[in-house]
Structure 1
């Protein structure tokens, strides 16, 4: 496929594709229900075009938008969700229902709380299990809780397992007001 054919394919209309303004960037950019982003034409001669998305180290696609000389990066899944998925309960995170971070179509996304999103990751096997028992100590109350694994602690406390792992490795001191340590030779 030639470069010209690739560009034509990118700008091709997809059946059932719906476009909506990006909040805060009206008249400049739009997002589609399929997760594509386009810049809009203007009176200065800029042509409408589909923008290239970049996959970041965390596996999510992001796009850089510019307005009045200010540039900002946005995760594509959030732009799609804000434009196309009602959020009457004000949930703060966008979940990929099929677990594929690159599938940013509106039909694959839904709003969740942080705790719901973590539970979904565990239920679908997106988070690998770590079966080393851990103790979590609350920094304010001193309460201690024992868990069979980092996975269980993550699910019960509503914090990301990677953050627990970082605390156990000494990269951070605590996670969400909880300090973590491995349980030494005692069954939970």
Structure 2
């Protein structure tokens, strides 16, 4: 089962939920796919790890229902009344007012004016490190091309190339962990923005 099939089945099984709650859950699973794909996993592997969409939907729906007061019915063969439990939806949570929503949007705007450029700068550093790692790993090729260009061979170039390859390997390893952290931070920050904008963080 690939990502599209998994999310489609999950969306169908969550149809009993209100659209906003269903959208939040779908965004969580889409973010999980995005993060796992960045780590080299296939869509099929991710879907298998997550499990059956029907069971996941059932777990998400369970707990959102609360029992009413017991309703009793009388059986002539048994004078003791027996309770019948009837599940009902919990009362909807009150949402914030229009003025508060406007203030939240304004707050998000100014917060993003600071944090988004900061996040972009972090990504720029990560890309620069990755480019430096690539340059170090390809330095032997540059020496070979320099030799065939007629500039001759010097031992110092060989030593410099070995050092550059070592630095390139080190930077490549560091870049791998840096990009993982950047993806996690970016996805988490985006999901938080969406939740706040939709009112998920503004319940009374």
- TM-score, length-normalised on structure 2? 0.19
- Bigger helix fraction: 2
User: Greater CA radius of gyration, 1 or 2?
Assistant: 2
Q: Please report the TM-score for the alignment, with normalisation by the length of structure 1.
A: 0.20
- Between the two structures, name the one with larger relative contact order (CA 8 Å, sep ≥ 6): 2
